[in-house]
């Protein structure tokens, strides 16, 4: 007995012996008329998306309320039928809002569930709601509506985090600490300069998200399954009712593209890249080896074995969530790249990726804001970590100001560093005689180089770490926040 024969037998047992079984149609499926026999229960579960796409219940109802108005204008439903459908949709919306909507077996997705309930409430008029509409354009419309609202929420949370960081930078502008490149001490900087570096990156994320929103804000409804609609559906009416800025240009593209989802997933990936970098810095700064900062207990956890431990789990999880979002983005793009034109069921994978990334970024932004608003710094420890070797560049600049070409000055400063290391003394402990042996240009005024505050103050050009420059950055981002407030 062959495997294919066995499988056919199993399928035959599941489908029943009746030559014509209209159970799919009777169960209220939106596609049941062409099929006979029951769907395999395993396939029912495999095919269904109601467990997660019910999150779009509000968007689905809003889209249907707008669509029934277009149907009435096209004389495809009467005014009374439009009133019945609209009223029924309002009742369904209230059930969802109150948490009393009952999802039933056979509710394959949010569209099926809402239409099934509408029929229960108002009867046969509900069957006219889907006239000229496909789930292909319905689902992408729901997603655009949902994502547009989600973007507004994430924009607000991002702005709150940026504001928290900007105000912290303003308050702690006089604190100095080591700046690092390649994980090695580089130059003295202001703590606020570090804060602002991450705030600026997040401001780009907000601007990028607003660009995504522009492309989300295009109406696909009225595209049908692939070819458009044969009825006189006023798409401008739909656009106005749903608050979209524009109408999709091509029905095949409108129903099959998921650019806005992919862009959102990429945006989430880049935003969490920035937050992961900030978290990694703070994780290092919070260790006993650094002790630059201390996290609030509200954003820390302990060890089940070692009583002394205070773990920065909030930061570790922020760092890890970036990988989660990267996976969602890469996974969905791989799904997309192998698809032929227009709608394919593979696209059902879009929603879980979109929802999960939204939930993840939503939580990360709130936790990051909590961390940054409650963090305590140790200014004395930060400044004590500054070391004279971090002023080697300043030593080169000293020579430049006396007319030595920079490339030569760089080499001479390096020789001074080598001399200090050979003598096992800090760079600022080299005598004038030691420095003069490196270059006769060094004079007694070289002692002015060994001042950390003077060092940072020389970087006063826009974008630098001098106090005037950092204050200007703070002021500029404050103005930016006013313009982008939601």
CA distance 107 to 430: 81
Burial 405-425 (b: 16+ CB within 10 A, else e): eeeebbbbbeebbebbeeeee
Which is the catalytic residue, given 4, 17, 182, 380?
Answer: 182
User: From the candidates 18, 51, 152, 303, which is the catalytic residue?
Assistant: 303
CA distance 330 to 417: 47
DSSP string, 185-237: EEEEEEHHHHHHHHHHHHHHHHHHHHHHHHHHSEE-TT-TTTT--SS---HHH
Q: Is 198 a catalytic residue?
A: no
CA pair distance 401, 395, nearest whole angstrom? 10
152 has catalytic annotation = no
Which residues is 187 bridged to in the sheet? 179
Angle at 352 between CA 350 and CA 355, to 5 degrees: 105
Residue 49: partners with Cβ closer than 8 Å, 6 or more residues away:
108, 109, 110, 348, 351
DSSP 123: G
Element (H, E) at 175: none
Which residue has 């009225």 as its token pair? 222
User: Annotated catalytic sites, by residue?
Assistant: 182, 303
């Amino acid at each position: 007995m062959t495997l294919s024969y066995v499988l056919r037998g199993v399928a035959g047992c599941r489908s029943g012996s009746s030559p014509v079984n209209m159970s799919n149609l009777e169960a209220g499926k939106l596609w049941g008329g062409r099929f006979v026999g029951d769907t395999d229960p395993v396939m029912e579960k495999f095919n269904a998306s109601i467990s997660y796409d019910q999150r779009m219940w509000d968007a689905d109802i809003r889209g249907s309320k707008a669509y029934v108005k277009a149907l009435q204008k096209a004389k495809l439903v009467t005014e009374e039928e439009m009133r019945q459908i609209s009223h029924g949709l309002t009742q369904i919306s209230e059930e969802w809002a109150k948490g009393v909507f009952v999802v039933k077996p056979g509710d394959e997705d949010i569209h099926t569930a809402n239409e099934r309930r509408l029929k229960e409430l108002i009867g046969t008029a509900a069957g006219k709601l889907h006239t000229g509409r496909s789930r292909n354009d319905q689902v992408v419309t729901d997603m655009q509506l949902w994502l547009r609202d989600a973007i507004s929420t994430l924009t607000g949370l991002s702005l709150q985090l940026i504001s928290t960081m900007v105000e912290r930078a303003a308050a702690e502008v006089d604190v100095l600490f080591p700046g690092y490149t390649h994980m090695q001490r580089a130059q003295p900087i202001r703590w606020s300069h570090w804060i602002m570096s991450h705030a600026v990156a997040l401001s780009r994320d907000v601007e990028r998200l607003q660009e995504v929103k522009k492309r989300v804000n295009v109406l696909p409804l009225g595209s049908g399954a692939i070819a458009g609609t044969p009825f006189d559906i006023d798409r401008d009416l739909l656009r106005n009712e749903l608050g979209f800025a524009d109408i999709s240009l091509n029905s095949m593209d409108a129903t099959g593209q998921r650019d806005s989802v992919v862009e959102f997933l990429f945006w989430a990936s880049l935003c969490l890249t920035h937050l992961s970098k900030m978290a990694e810095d703070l994780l290092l700064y919070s260790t006993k080896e650094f002790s630059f900062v201390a996290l609030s207990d509200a954003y820390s956890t302990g060890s089940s074995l070692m009583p002394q431990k205070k773990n920065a789990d909030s930061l570790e999880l922020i760092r890890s969530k970036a990988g989660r979002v990267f996976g969602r983005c890469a996974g969905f793009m791989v799904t997309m790249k192998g698809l032929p034109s227009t709608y394919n069921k593979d696209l059902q994978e879009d929603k879980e990726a979109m929802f999960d990334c939204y939930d993840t970024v939503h939580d990360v932004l709130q936790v990051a804001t909590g961390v940054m608003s409650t963090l305590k710094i140790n200014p004395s420890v930060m400044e004590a970590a500054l070391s004279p070797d971090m002023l080697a560049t300043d030593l080169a600049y000293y020579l430049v100001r006396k007319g030595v070409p920079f490339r030569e000055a760089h080499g001479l400063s390096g020789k001074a560093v080598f001399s200090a290391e050979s003598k096992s003394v800090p760079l600022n402990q080299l005598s004038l005689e030691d420095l003069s042996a490196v270059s006769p240009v060094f004079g007694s005024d070289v002692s002015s180089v060994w001042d950390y505050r003077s060092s940072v103050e020389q970087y006063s050009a826009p974008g630098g770490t001098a106090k005037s420059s950092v204050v200007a950055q703070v002021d500029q981002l404050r103005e930016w926040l006013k313009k982008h407030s939601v």
